[in-house]
Amino acid sequence: MSQRSALPEWQHLQQCALRARSRHLRDMWQSGDRAAEFSRQAGPFFMDFSKQRLTGADRDGLLALARACGLEQAIGDLMAGVAVNNTEERAALHTALRADAHEQVFVDGRNVVPAVHASLERMDTMVTRIHSRQWRGYSGKPIRDVVNIGVGGSDLGPVMVCNALGEFTPPEAHELKLHFVSSIDGTQIADLLGSLKPETTLFIISSKSFTTVDTLSNARTALQWMLEETGDHAMTLNHHFIGVSTRADRMSEWGIPAANQIEFWEWVGGRFSLWSGIGLPVALQIGMKGFRDMLAGARFMDQHFRHTPLADNLPVLLGLIGVWNATFLDIRAHAVLPYDGRLKVFPSYLTQLEMESNGKSVSRAGETLDYSTCPVLWGDVGPNAQHAFYQLLHQGTQAVSSDFIAPLKRYGDHHSSTDLQVQHQLALANCLAQSRVLMLGDACVENGDSAPEFRRYRGNQPSTTLLIDELTPYTLGALVALYEHKVFVMSVIWDINPFDQWGVELGKQIADATFLAMKFSGSGDAAAFDGSTAALLARIKKAGRKPS
C-alpha cells in the first residue's frame, strides 16, 4: 500500500466511492438546492459541478484528503519558488512570469521578477519594431509573415491563444500573418515556404533547450531556404531570425545575434512557458497590451488559488473532482468540450498540459503507485463533437467525465447581425442540453424508459460546466491558469511530480539512436534493436537504396 492510499482520509473516500457507484445522478436531486450547493463564482467564472457524482459528504471527504496531503502548504511552496520539481531539483515558477513588477519571488536567493519584466520589455521592443514596420528584411522591405518554429509547449500554447484571440488583433498588426511549424516530417514547412517571400519573412525559433531535434531540423530547412535567396549567412540571421530559449549560448552558437534573443529560465516548464518569450507570437497577434491583459488574467487566478479557502477555490475543486473521478470512481477518460469555435485548440493544449504533467505511475518518493492517476484526455469544439464522438458518451460502454466550457456573451455591440447572436444562443442551448442528457439519460425524455433498448440512454456521465462572462485576453489567461493549477492540485493528491517528463526524454533518446542506425548502410547496426524494429529498419533502408 502506498503512502497516499494508506491515509485514513483516502480509505474513507474509497468507501464513499463504493456507495457512489450504486447511485445514479438522476436520483441526487431529491432534496435541497443542489445547484447552489455545488457551484462557485470567482471573477468572470461560474463553475457548476452539480452534475458530478458526488454528495456533500463526498466533497467534504475530498477536502479532508487535500488537507491531509498538505495541499495548502504545497500551493505556498509552488508560488514561493521552493524546488517542487524534485527530480530535476528546481522550482516550477510559471506564476512568477505573470507577477507584478513590485512583487518579489526568490530562486536561489535572487529575486527573479526584475528579470521577468526585463524580458517583457525586450518582447515589447521587438513587437513595436515589427508592428511599426521598422523591422526589415535583407532587401529593406518590412516583415509581413512571421513563422514560429517550435514543438510541444513552444507550439501548442501560442497556437491555441492565437486561434482564440484573433479578433483582438490591433490595427497595427492587421497586415502581419502568423504561421506555425511543428511537424518533424517536413510537410508543414515545405508547404508553407512555397507560399512565402524570403525578403519579408521572419522566423522565431522557440526551444527551451535549443537542442530539440524537431525544432532545429525545421530551423535548418528555413535557414537554407533563406540562404538560397540571400547567400549571406550573417545578414540572414540578423534580419530574419529570432531565438527564444533558456540557453543564450546555444542560440549564439547557432548564429542568432544577441539582440535577436529572448531568454527565459530553467524554472519554467515547457508546457507552462506560454507566459514567457515563448508567447512572442501571441504578442505579435494581439499586441503587448493584449499580452499583458492575458498575464493579468492569469495573475488573478494565481491570487485566487493562493488565498481562497479550499472549499471555494475553483482550481482546487476542479482538481479534487478530477481525482474523485479518475482514482476513486475509476473513470479513465475525460473530455474537454468548449462551445465556442475560438477555443478549438484548447482541448489539444490541455492534452499536453494534463497528460504530460500527470501521466505518472511513481510517487515523489519513488514508490510504484497502487491507484490510477491521469485519465486519457481529449476533446473538440462541442457542436462538432456532437456529430463525432458524443455517440460513445451517450450510449457507449465507457464511463467518461467531461468539462463543458462556454462564454455567456458573444457578438456584442460591434456585431450588428442578430443571426450571429442567435447562433451563439443555439450553441449555449446545445451545451446545456448535452450535459443534461449525459446526466439524466432517457429520464429527461417523456416515456424514455419505455423506449426500445437501442433508443435508451443510461446517463450518469458526470460533467462540470464552466461559464465565462466573455472570452477576452484577460479571461483566457485566467482560464489557462485555472487548468494549470488544477493539474498541480491533482499531482499533490496523487503524490507525483507534474513538472518532469522523463518518458518524453526517453523517446527522444531512442529516436536519436534509431536515426543513427538508419544512416548506416551495413546490417550489423540493427543488432541492438528488437526483432520488429530491426525488420522495419531493414525495409526502410531497402526502400531508400538507389537501384543498381
Q: Is 307 an active-site residue?
A: no
Checking DSSP bridges between strand 201-206 and strand 145-149, what pairing results, if any?
A: parallel
Neighbour-count burial of 15, counting CB atoms closer than 10 A to its CB (0-12 exposed, 13-18 middle, 19+ buried)? exposed
Strands 177-181 and 261-263 turn out to be unpaired
Q: What does the DSSP assignment read for 50-115?
A: TTSS--HHHHHHHHHHHHHTTHHHHHHHHHHT---BTTTTB---GGGGG--TT---EETTEE-HHH
Q: Residue 234: which H helix or E strand, with range? A: helix 233-240
Query: Which of 289, 409, 415, 508 is the catalytic position?
Result: 508
Question: Identity (one letter) of the amino acid at 359?
Answer: G
CA-CA distances (angstroms) from residue 260 to 98, 118, 130, 155?
23, 14, 12, 19
Of 175, 125, 180, which is closest to residue 157 (Cα–Cα)? 180
| Alpha-carbon span 169 to 174, nearest angstrom | 7
DSSP designation for 546:
P
- SS3 call for 521: coil
Point out the catalytic residue in the list 102, 174, 307, 387.
387
Distance CA 536, CA 516 (A): 14
Q: C-alpha distances in angstroms, 23 versus 54, 295, 326, 461, 476?
A: 9, 42, 17, 12, 36
Q: How far apart are CA 7 and CA 325, in angstroms?
A: 18
CB 184 within 8 A of CB 219: no
Q: Which is catalytic among the residues 356, 360, 484, 486?
A: 356
**Phi, psi (degrees; rounded to nearest 5) at 188:** -55, -55
- 508 has catalytic annotation: yes
Residue 355 near residue 376 (C-beta atoms within 8 A): yes
Cell, residue 280 = 512572442
- DSSP letter, residue 444: G
228 tagged catalytic? no
Catalytic residue numbers? Answer: 356, 387, 508
